[in-house]
């Protein structure tokens, strides 16, 4: 099975104090042991770093530790799906055409990466956000 992990699932799987940690960790462990084909949108690398390095946890996750966590949990085991200029333009056109504004465009970028990678599942804790930008993904977008 080809599965693209949204940033929300990555954060939950990496941060033990996250309320959805156990559910997300089970999927992340499957991904790291190659029992599924593991994909992550390139955009999620930056988003994951931003979240991990600014979470109000005690102790805080230092920038270097955040980078190491991303390296070990994402960059090494996952296939990173990059988007080009044409993809970005198409995403902007799509969200504008749907009458959506603001940060929802970031979910649309991840949905575009899922489409580009032809995944069977887009794993997210925010299914509603993804279905707003990718209504055709109803069979693909799932919550762990």
Distance of alpha carbon 33 from the chain centroid: 18
97 has pLDDT over 90: yes
Question: Does residue 1 have a pLDDT over 90?
Answer: yes
Q: Quick one: average pLDDT of 8-16?
A: 97
Q: Is the pLDDT of residue 112 over 90?
A: yes
CB 138 within 8 A of CB 112: no
Is pLDDT above 90 for 32? no
**CA separation for the pair 105, 62 (Å, rounded):** 28
**Per-residue CA distances from 11 to 21, 35, 79 (Å):** 8, 20, 17
**Every domain of the chain and the residues it spans:** 2-142
pLDDT band at 34 (very low <50, low <70, confident <90, very high): confident
Question: What's the mean pLDDT in 77-95?
Answer: 97
pLDDT at 8: 97
CATH architecture designation of domain 2-142: 3-Layer(aba) Sandwich (3.40)
Positive or negative CA dihedral for 142, 120, 32, 64?
negative
CA dihedral 105, 106, 107, 109 (to 10 degrees): 90
Q: Is the pLDDT score of 18 beyond 90?
A: yes
């Amino acid at each position: 099975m080809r599965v693209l992990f949204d940033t929300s699932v990555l954060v939950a799987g990496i941060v033990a104090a996250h309320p959805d940690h156990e559910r997300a960790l089970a999927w992340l462990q499957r991904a790291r042991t190659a029992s599924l084909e593991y994909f992550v949108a390139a955009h999620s690398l930056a988003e994951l770093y931003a979240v991990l390095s600014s979470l109000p946890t005690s102790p805080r996750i230092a920038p270097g530790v955040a980078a190491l966590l991303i390296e070990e949990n994402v960059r090494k085991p996952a296939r990173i799906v990059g988007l080009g200029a044409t993809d970005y333009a198409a995403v902007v056109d799509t969200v504008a055409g749907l009458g959506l504004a603001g940060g929802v465009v970031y979910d649309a970028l991840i949905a575009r990466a899922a489409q580009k990678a032809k995944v069977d599942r887009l794993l997210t804790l925010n299914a509603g956000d993804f279905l707003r930008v990718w209504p055709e993904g109803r069979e693909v977008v799932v919550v762990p």
